[in-house]
Structures are given as C-alpha cells and as structure tokens.
Structure 1
Amino acid sequence: MSDEQQVASDDADLATLGYQQKLHRTMGSFTSFALAFSMVSINTGVVTLFSDPFTRVGGVGILLWLVVIPLVFCIVMVYSHLAGRIPLTGYAYQWSSRLAGNHFGWFTGWVAFISFAAGTAATSAAIGSVFAPEIWPNPTQLQIQLLSIGATVAVGVLNVFGIRIATRMNDLGACIELIGTVVLTLALIGGVFFFFPHTQGLGILVDTNPVSKQPIHFVTVALATLLPVSVLLGWEGAADLAEETRDPRKTAPRAMIRAVVVSSVLGIVVFALLGMAIPGSVEQLLAHSENPVIHLVRLQLGRVAGSVMVVVAFASILACLIANMAVATRMTFALSRDKMLPGSGFLSSVNPRFGTPVGAIVLITVIAVVLNLASGGFVTAIYSMVGLTYYLTYFLTLVAAYLAHRRGDMPSAPQGVFDLGRWLVPMIVTGGAWTLVVIVTLTLPDENHDAAITTLAALAMGAIWWLASLRGRLNRGVAGPRQHR
C-alpha cells in the first residue's frame, strides 16, 4: 500500500471513530519510535537524578532497575493492546471514555493533561538546571530560569510550524542520544574493565552504604526505585499522536514496546557503568558543584569527552522537551475537541496550513513558563509531581481496561494488530498492583508531601470543573467523545 493509500485508509478509520482528519498524518514507524524514545529520554533521567539511589541505599540501588523494568512492561503491554484498538489522539482519555464511560474518561484525561503539562515544565527546568553552569560559572536563579523559559518558548514556536518539522528535530535529537549513549557505553566498558584506575568497579553493585548515612529500610528502598520509575515514563506518547501517525494501529504499539526495550537496556547498562566508573568515593563525586554525570565523564574520559557529553545530553533533553510539548498539546487538543475544557473553541483550533493545534501549544507553553517561575527553577519537585500523575493515569487506564474486559466490551482489532489474548487480565492486575505501589511511594513519605499536595490541588480543580459545568454537559451529550453523542 502506498503512503497516499495508507493515509486515506487511516483517515477513513478515524471517521468510523467519530472524527474528521484535521491534523497532518506524517509520522512513520521510526518517527513514532523516536518520539517515544525521546519522551523516555534515559539521558534526561540519568543526568538529573543520578545521585538519588546512591544517596538513599548506596550503589545496590542500581539493581533496582531489574525490579522496575518487568513491572513497567506489564503496563506497556496493556497500553499496546489498547493502542491497536482505539487509535486516537488523547490516548488514555479516549480509551477510558470508551471503555468505562465519559465521566471516568474525564478524570483520566485531566490527570494525563496534568502529567504532560508538568512534564513539559520539568524538562525545560532540567535544561536550565543542568546547562546553565556550562554557560555561566556561577549561574543565578534568574539565569537558570531564563534558559529554561527560552528553551520552552523556542520549542513552542517550533511546534507551531508543524509536526513534520518538530518530529524531524526530535528524530535528530533521538539519533544523537541513541548514538551518543551507545558510544558512551562502549567507552565506559573499555575504561571500567581495562583503562580507568581506582574505580568503584563491580563492587558498587553490592554497596549498601548510602551517602546520606541514614539506615536502609523499606521506605528508602521504595524511594530508590524512583530513578528507573522516573526514567521509564512517557513512552505512551507514540499513542497520543495516533492521528498524525500512518497505520497507527500497528505503528504505535511497536513504537512503545521498542522504545521501552531500548531505553531499559541502555538505562540500566549506562547507569551501572557510570557507577562502576566513579573514582575515589561516591560522596566526593556527588559533592562536586558540577553535574555528577558530566563531571564523571570529564574525569575519566577527558575534557573533550566531557564536552561531547554536554552536547549529547543537551540534544537528548531538548528532544525530550520537543516530544513533551507535542504530546501535551495533543492531549489538550483531544479534550478540547470534545468540549471538555474551558475555552475549548480556542484550544481545539488547528492551523490549516501547518496542521497544528496552535491554541493548545500556546496554553502548554504558558503553563510551562509559569511553572518554571513558580518553582524557582527547582526541577526535583516538579519531577515528583510528574511521576505521580503519570502513574495515576496508568492506574485509571488499567481500571478502565479491566472493566471493559469483564463486561465483554473490549473492542476487537484487525488482523496483525498487537493482541495480548489471555494475558490481558494478568498484565492488568500485575501492572495495576505496581501502579498502586508507586503511587503510595510518591505520596506517603514526608519528602513527597509537597508533590502530593500540589497534585491534589490540581485534581481538585478538575473535580470542581466537572461538578460545576462538565457533568451536566456530559449527561446531556453535548460534550465528550463523539462516539457517545
């Protein structure tokens, strides 16, 4: 089938789900994978959160990746099952609405909107906090914020000019991250086992001496899992851009699975090698004013390698920001198209020339700028909120999938589309249990109370809007996914 025939078939498929094609369908299989891979962005997570496991439980925290990866895969499998059956922009919102009802779908969509909006702000904040010291010797808070906000505005403008331009930039960033990470891995393997003197070596993997000097207990172990949890987020972005993807029923599930496989393997290998490559004490490395990963690469591989690492890390985080902006604006567009948000007319407007939801892009850009100003540029607190809202979205989606399966309402899929078959319920149950563990870990410990309170405030806003206006309109059928009108 030619590209033109495939697009015509996809547009017809979209019409059966209740919508007219307005966004430009230009994404192929590699671009879909690159977007999901950039959303995960192992370099973003590792560079910004490298010290966390060492501070909480010591080097043994590296092995917690082996616990997290298979549990995350349970969620990925269920999402892939759903992406092949309901290939719509707004993914979790659309799935939950059609599987568990419009009211349930609103809360899923609202939580997903929060996660993507906060994720965009967190990623732009990471650009400021990581790279401002590379520009200014002792950057002020204002300089950090200006760098973050400048990157946000630039990416917002880039997204306005079309998904093709944005995804090509993202493709480039993903390729730089992938190639750079592989090269870094090979260099670290050679260095750790053959060339670097006085490294931590394999012993770091069994080290149980946290830098904090605090005793290790269940809560600290649970909190130490949050690095791989925070890294392995966002892969579902491929499903969120379904209406801009060719053959999304097959493409999106494959993109999500491939992105998580590649990110999981590279993530644990790179993190373990970086830990093994630490010279001297871990505490001394983490106490340095420079970002520990960049500083470590400079120490062991030289200043040129350190500069290359800066370039790779910048390309990775910028690509992550481009991808976050894309998926956040598409979730906003999907909700607004169904008249679920205030100002839906403006937020659902699509530029006919570029095929982009300009109103949604403006909103997400403004939110990211405001959050960076309000947060004082501190990325950690925003990241905590991002992880919590992501996992709330996962949990709600898994509940909707289980309810639909139990009632026999799960849509069928064409031949050749990803299908879990009898494994659907075990994956839902295992993935659901894991999401609850993460949600508890991200709310109950004292250090996460601020993020939990912020998330509750955001959820309360969604509940108030639902009670005051949306509930009645959903009941009257004047809002919600078009299939239900």
Structure 2
Amino acid sequence: MHHADHDDAQLASLGYTSEFRRDMSPWANFSLGFTYLSPVVGIYTVFAISLALAGPPMIWSLLIVGVGQLLVALVFSEIVAQFPVAGGVYPWARRLWGKKYAWMTGWVYLLALLATVASVTYTAGFYVAPALGIDATTNTVIVCGLGTILLATVINFMGTKVLAWAAIIGFTAELLGALAVGGWLLIAHREHGLDVLFDSFGAAGEGSYVSAFLAASLIGIYQYYGFEACGDVAEEVPNPGRLIPKAMRRTIYIGGAAATFVCLALVLSVADIPGVIAGEDVDPVTTVLNDAFGTTGARIVLFVVLISFVSCAMSLQAAASRLAYSYGRDDMIFGSGLLKKFSATRGVPPYALLLSGIVPALIVIFSKVSADAVLKIVSFAAFGIYLGFQLVVLAALRARLKGWQPSGAYQLGRWGLPVNIAALAYGVAAMVNIAWPRTPDAAWYDNYLVLLSAAIVVGTGLVYMALHRSYGRSDAPHSDAIPSTTGVGAAPPEEPVKATV
C-alpha cells in the first residue's frame, strides 16, 4: 500500500479524516521540534538567572534533564506511532485514558503552551531592542514582543509548506549561528578553563549548594521540551508512525548538544562570574557579545538570535493551534465551532491560530504590571508543560498495567514498562523542583506563585467541566488503547521497528 493511502487508512481507523496536507518532510518535522526546543532561545532566556543562582556548575543540569526528557520522548514515540493524530498530548490522553482526563490534559497543556509563546516573545524584546539600537525599556520590550508574535502568526497563516520551510531556515540559521558564535567565543574570547565548571564561586552563600543547583536547573528544565511538537503536526507528516519518533529523538540529541555547547561557550566567556552572582551584571549574555564582537558585531549576532526567537515562537504557535484545533474538532470546549474551522486554501485552522497569537499577546501586555516577569512566566510555562507531559506519561503507565500493548511502527518492547516508570518518576521530581518555594522573604503568593498558578488553571478547568460538560457531548473515539474498553478498532498493523534510543 502506498504511504499516503496507508496514512489515510490508519487515520480513518482512528475515527478521523484529515483536512491537513502532508506537506511536512521528515527534515522539516525535525526542524519544527528543534526550533521549538531552540537551544539559543532556551539558554539566552535563563542563562543569567541560572548562573547567578548556582554559578558555572549549573550547566550539568542540561545533561541530567536531557536524559530524563529522553525517557519521556521514548514514551511519546510509542504513543504517536499508534495514534498519529493532530494535537499531541490531548488526543494521546484521550485514547489512553478517556474524555474527562483528556479534557484536563489538553486544558493544562494549551494554557502552558500559550504562556510559553508569551515567555519566548517577551524575552525576544530584550534582543530586538538592542539589535535595532534602542533602549530595552519595559514598554519597548513589550512592543517588540508583540511584533514577534505578529510575525510568527503571519508565517503560520501561510500554511504547512511555508511553515516547514521557515522551520528548516530557522533550524539552519540557529545551528550555524550557535556554532559560529560559540566557536568564536571559545577560540578568541575564552576567559576560563574547563575546571570552572566545577567552581560555584560561592553562589550558594551560607545555604546548601544542592538547593542552589536545583533552583538553577530551570535552565535545563526550560530547555528540553519541543520534541512533542513533532507529534502535534502528525497529520501533516507522511508515514508519521515511523518518522515522528525519529524526529523526537533527534530533537533531544541534536538540540541538547547544541544547547550545552552554547551554554559552555557563554560560561567560559563570562569574565566576571562573581559580578553576575552578586547582581552587578544582570545581563551577562549581552556583556559577552559586546566584549567579543564589539557593538556592531554584537548587533549582527543579535539579528541571528532574533531568527531563533521568531522560529521558536512560530513552532510554538503551530503546536498550540493544532492542539486547539484538535480540541475543537472533538467539540470539547466553548467556541469549538470556530476552533475546528479549517482553511482549505491555506491548509491551516485560522481561528485556532488566532487564539495562539491573541492570548500570548495579552500575557505580554499584562507583564507590565509584574516585576521579574520573565522568571514568573517561564516558571509557570515550564511547570504547565511538564504537568501536561506527565499526565500523558501517567495515562500510558495506567494503560500498560491494564493491558495496553503498543501496536504502532515504533515499540520499546520489554523496555516499555521500566522506561515509562522512570519517565514518570523523573517528571514528578522535576515538577516538585519547579514549584518548590524559594523566596521566603517574598509575599506568600509570590513564593508559591507556580503552585498557585497551576492550582488556578486546574481549578478553573474543573469548574468549567462542571458547568459546561462539553467533554460529555463529544462522540469522538476515546479509551481505545486499553483492550477491555470498547472503542474504535486499532490502526492497520505495521511491522514494528526495533526501538533505538
């Protein structure tokens, strides 16, 4: 059977007829995940905070988190191979557990995605302003962030093929830029040897260094998501059961290596690390770039960095819009009539895309009233993403214990259960770390901001579910991963590939 026919048949067996065009090549699918993960954006956003909290050893969190997220990616690979449906975690949770559980998973993950778009575009403002030669005031940063959202939205509205090419261009520019900038810093502007990676420079003060390191590990936690975006566009990729698991793993391998290289180059090039820890240099990235490249050279580098931010925002929007569309297609939420509308001309869900632009724009605008807006938005976004991930990992573990045997083209075989358990343990530990209160001198609501934000999101979702039972009106397939549950038949059988990590 031809791949296109097989893809259509597999999707039909899952209860859907796709409106999307399968215009996204394997290379573009990987590039989408890479630009969403975005080594440059992730490192540049949190580098100053993490270095100030724990000094150079914070770089080791990138390796620790990378291993943990690889476990999650392996679990997701099995799921997407069997259920290659647009929207990612929401339809996966729906098939593994049920409608109510899927509703909450999608709700948490969608809001976290929209907050992540806001965090990326808000941070972009700090680099847009100096690249244009203007002061990065609060208002300027907000305006530049809104401009980044607008540009990403326009690219997404041009359709899958343009999105695919933009992702490839973004990946190429980011990887080459990261290698060129990092290489130059290491060759011509290195201030320290590798031994500095084991020197905290007294960052923890009189407190526990373990506590300081865990707080600084936000740089790793914020870095390693994006691989799931490869699965969010499953209906736009040919032969998704085989190609998407490969793209997910490559995103972790290549994206993680690039992020670690960027972080290493910056750490070894910061001349005054004690000054960063003491708060005397709150923007060491800009300081390093200006010292290494001069004002004009640094501005050129910043323009390359901006490509990374736009690409990242674009990929995030694509993921969020596909999730919102999938939600709407199953009639799961108020406004589903608009969210599920599809533009056959452009090959995109227009109202779902508008949602992924308007909500982040509002978050960016309202950030004006908050101090430390970046840290707060990033912390909530990371926690929400991890919560969405772990809801799926938990659903997969429950399904396995109830008899689910993954039947897609990618299978972990006897490693499935231990990998699933390890992925859940890692994810729970990471969420505890993100939400742990670390500012005892701050107001209680500031100290527990992450937990409070998560509670508000989940609580609002529960109230909505009680008042507007959209999930109960949907007759879309659900709970069919577990053998004892009556549901839509399994996908056409494929010869499984041997799992490779």
Counterpart check, 1:401 vs 2:396? yes
Cα separation, 2, equivalents of 1:390 and 1:113:
9
Q: How many angstroms apart in 2 are the aligned matches of 1:108 and 1:440?
A: 18
2:155 alignment partner in structure 1: 158
2:496 maps to what in 1? none
Equivalent of 2:92 in 91, 95, 109: 95
Are 2:188 and 1:191 aligned?
A: yes
Kindly indicate whether the alpha-carbon contact (under 8 Å) linking 1:285 and 1:296 is maintained by their aligned counterparts in 2: no
Q: Work out whether residues 52 and 277 of structure 2, in 8 Å CA contact, stay in contact via their aligned partners in 1.
A: no
Contact kept? 2:97, 2:478, Cα under 8 Å: no
* 1:268-310 Cα shifts (integer Å, max 9, x gaps): 2221222112224441598577842232133134445423321
Deviation at 1:214, TM superposition (A): 5.5
Give the gaps of 5 or more residues in structure 2: 440-446, 481-486, 489-501
Say whether 1:130 aligns with 2:127: yes
Q: 1:72-114 deviations in whole A, cap 9, x for unaligned? A: 2111111111111111111211111111111111111111111
User: Structure 1 residues 209, 284: closer, same or farther in 2, change over 3 A?
Assistant: closer
CA distance in 2, matches of 1:315, 1:19: 36
Inter-partner Cα distance in structure 2 for 1:318 and 1:103: 35
Residues 362-387 of structure 1 deviation map (CA, whole Å, 9 limit, x = unaligned): 11211011111112283221111110
**TM-score, normalising length from structure 1?**
0.91
Give, in whole Å, the separation in 2 of the partners of 1:280 and 1:209. 11
Contact 2:55–2:277 at 8 Å: present in 1 too?
no
Which amino acid counterpart does residue 30 of structure 1 have in structure 2? W
Q: Which amino acid aligns with 1:82?
A: I
* Structural mapping, 1:448-467, within 5 Å: 449-467=448-466
1:336 aligns with 2:325: no
> Deviation of residue 140 (structure 1)?
3.0
The answer for unaligned runs of 5 or more in structure 1 is none
Structure 1 contact 200–280 (Cα < 8 Å) conserved: no
Tell me, yes or no, if the aligned pair for 1:402 and 1:425 is still in contact at 8 Å. Answer: yes
In structure 2, the residue matched to 1:412 is 407
Question: Is contact 2:95-2:477 (8 Å) kept?
Answer: no
- The structure 2 residue matched to 1:178, chosen from 165, 169, 175, is 175
Q: Are 2:71 and 1:77 aligned?
A: no
Structure 2 CA distance for aligned equivalents of residues 258 and 203 of structure 1:
30
Q: What is residue 41 of structure 2 aligned with on the other side?
A: 44
Shift of 1:16: 1.2
Contact 2:121–2:313, Cα closer than 8 Å, also in 1 = yes
* Distance of 1:87 and 1:264 partners within structure 2: 25
Name the SS for the 2:270 alignment partner.
Answer: coil
Cα deviation, 1:316-364, whole Å, max 9, x if unaligned, reads 1110000011000000000111011111001110011111100111112
Instruction: Decide whether the 8 Å contact of 1:22 with 1:355 is kept in 2.
Output: yes
Structure 1's 348 and 74: CA in aligned 2 closer, same or farther, altered over 3 A?
same
Secondary structure of 2:448's match? helix
**8 Å CA contact retained: 2:201, 2:274:** no
Question: Are the aligned partners of 2:15 and 2:477 in contact in 1 as well (CA < 8 Å)?
Answer: no
Paired AA for residue 50 in structure 2? P
Task: Note the alpha carbon deviations across 1:26-55, whole angstroms, 9 max, x for none.
Answer: 101100000000010010011111122321
Report the CA distance between 1:212 and its aligned residue. 7.0
- Are the aligned partners of 2:331 and 2:474 in contact in 1 as well (CA < 8 Å)? no
Offset, 1:56: 1.5
Are the equivalent residues in 1 in contact too, given 2:103–2:471 (CA < 8 A)?
A: no
Alignment deviations for residues 409-458 of structure 1 (CA, whole Å, 9 cap, x no partner): 23412xxx321111111111111111111111122314562232222212
Instruction: Determine what percentage of the aligned residue pairs are the same residue.
Output: 24
- Judge conservation of contact 1:130–1:291 (CA < 8 Å) in 2: no
Listed one character per residue, the Cα deviations across residues 223-264 of structure 1 (whole Å, up to 9, x for unaligned) are 121101101112110001001111111111111100110111
Name the structure 2 match of 1:224.
216
2:264 aligned residue: 272
For residues 332 and 214 of structure 1, what CA distance do their matches in structure 2 show?
47
Residue 444 and residue 291 in structure 1: after superposition, are their counterparts in 2 closer, same or farther (change >3 A)? closer
- Alpha-carbon distance between aligned partners in 2 of 1:295 and 1:446, rounded to the nearest angstrom: 28
2:5 is the counterpart of 1:8: yes
SS in 2 for 1:84: helix
**TM-score, length of structure 2 as denominator length:** 0.88
Query: How far off its partner does 1:142 sit?
Result: 1.9
Q: Secondary structure at the match of 2:244?
A: helix
Contact 1:347/1:357 (8 A) holds in 2: yes
Correspondent of 2:339 among 343, 347, 350: 347
Q: Render the CA deviation track for 1:188-222: whole Å, top value 9, x for unaligned.
A: 33236xxx5xx122232111224574533443221
Q: Which residue of 1 aligns with 2:106?
A: 109
Equivalents in 1 of 2:22, 2:32: separation in Å?
Answer: 15
Tell me the number of residue pairs that the alignment of Structure 1 and Structure 2 aligns: 472
Q: 2:231 aligns with which of 229, 239, 264?
A: 239
Query: Residue 51 of structure 1 aligns to a residue in which SS?
Result: helix
Q: What is the rounded CA distance, in whole Å, between the counterparts of 1:111 and 1:77 in structure 2?
A: 22
- Select which of 365, 372, 381 maps to 1:373: 365
Match of 2:116 among 86, 96, 119: 119
CA pair 210-39 structure 1, distance change in 2 beyond 3 A = farther
Distance 1:141 1:186 in 2: 32
Q: What amino acid is aligned across from residue 404 of structure 2 in structure 1? A: D
Change (3 A) 1:219 1:290: closer
The equivalent of 1:382 in structure 2 is: 377
Shift in alpha-carbon separation, 1:328–1:210, aligned structure 2, 3 A: farther
Aligned partner of 1:68 among 57, 65, 70? 65
> What is the rounded CA distance, in whole Å, between the counterparts of 1:427 and 1:185 in structure 2?
34
Residue 307, structure 1, aligned to residue 299, structure 2? yes
CA distance in 2, matches of 1:243, 1:212: 48
Q: How does 1:135-150 map to 2 (within 5 A)?
A: 135-150=132-147
8 Å CA contact 1:56–1:216 kept in 2: the answer is no
CA–CA distance in 2 between the matches of 1:398 and 1:52?
Answer: 30
Q: Does the 8 A contact of 2:131 with 2:300 survive in 1?
A: no
Q: Are the equivalent residues in 2 in contact too, given 1:55–1:210 (CA < 8 A)?
A: no
Distance 2:352 2:400 in 1: 33
CA distance in 2, matches of 1:320, 1:300: 25
Greater alpha carbon shift after TM alignment, 133-142 vs 149-158: 133-142
**Alpha carbons of structure 1 residues 305 and 254: separation in structure 2 relative to 1, 3 Å:** farther
Q: Is the 8 A contact 1:45 1:231 kept in 2?
A: yes
